[in-house]
Structure 1
Amino acid sequence: MTEYEKMKQGYDFDAGDKEICQVRANALTLTTKINHCGDSEVVQQLAKDLLGQIGNNSFITAPFKCEFGKNIIIGSNSFINMGCTILDGAEVRIGDNVLIAPSVQLYSASHSLDYKARRGWKTFCKPIVIEDDVWIGGNVVINQGVTIGARSVVAASSVVNQDVPADTVVGGVPAKVIKKLNQ
């Protein structure tokens, strides 16, 4: 199993591995182009080159940052506003008709609670899933291993550490269910 495969499957991996560094360097090149381009059509073409998939009528606004890019899957008719940062060591899947406000951060990566392991920069990654028709408010942080259920709303400045049920509004630090939505 390659270090890249270990990373995607949630195992400890060597972040300095040649393949991982090449994918990361490619993402840096493409995000730099995205963030310095004034032509929205060119930005969308660069996003197609960067990401694993971006659906029809989905749109990313600059600045946009990610670590690898190709582990990000975006459905159709979704909008990612400026200042979004995605650490995509594991797959980050964003559904259809998703709205992501400015300065949202999605972190599939984490480190050990054991300080000795952190000294070696041990990292492990778990996927993030944002299901269809979700609205993520500004400055939200979504941590690894979390699924945001369909049609839910995450209030601005929330920190999401656990799964969000479908058809709910969550908010706070850590985010908790505020109310259920009647669909």
Structure 2
Amino acid sequence: MTEVRTAHTADLDDAAIKAARNLLWDVFDDDMTEHDWEHALGGIHALAWNGDDLVGHASVIQRRLLHGGRWLRTGYVEAVAVRADHRRQGIAGTMMAELERVIRRAYDLGALGASDEGAAFYASRGWQRWQGRTYALSPAGIQRTEDEDDCIYVLPTAVPLDLAGDLTCDWRDGDAW
């Protein structure tokens, strides 16, 4: 039986951190980078355990997104992965439900960058594809991120959003979104 537990990065022991990192590298193979791993740290993790084996991971970290002239405290979902032999069993949905609860209670909105494979999953959970242009606030100023325009999904909370408007993320090393 699979059990999903949540914990802040600071509350995870070394074994759980190592298991999560290894899982992400196994699932994403060549698409996982050190920056991607760093992006997943510092927030709340949803960890799916089958006995002593970690079979799923997702995390939500705080970011700032600029929309409509306002910086929004955003729960940004990172590193959603389920081991191949445990997929299609509801594990990703259970992990996301935990993170969505956190987002709804603690943030102005939720956001994530969806892969082509994951987009339908997020949409089925009520996440909405951002229709407008995307940007990143870089050390050199605001830069357009048009490659991300069709990949960003948001989970609205109480803050009104214009999904056709511009959305700018705060800066970080590696992929901006």
Scaled by the length of structure 2, what TM-score is found? 0.31
Structure ranking higher in helix proportion:
2
Scaled by the length of structure 1, what TM-score is found? 0.30
Q: Between the two structures, name the one with larger relative contact order (CA 8 Å, sep ≥ 6).
A: 2
Structure ranking higher in strand proportion:
2
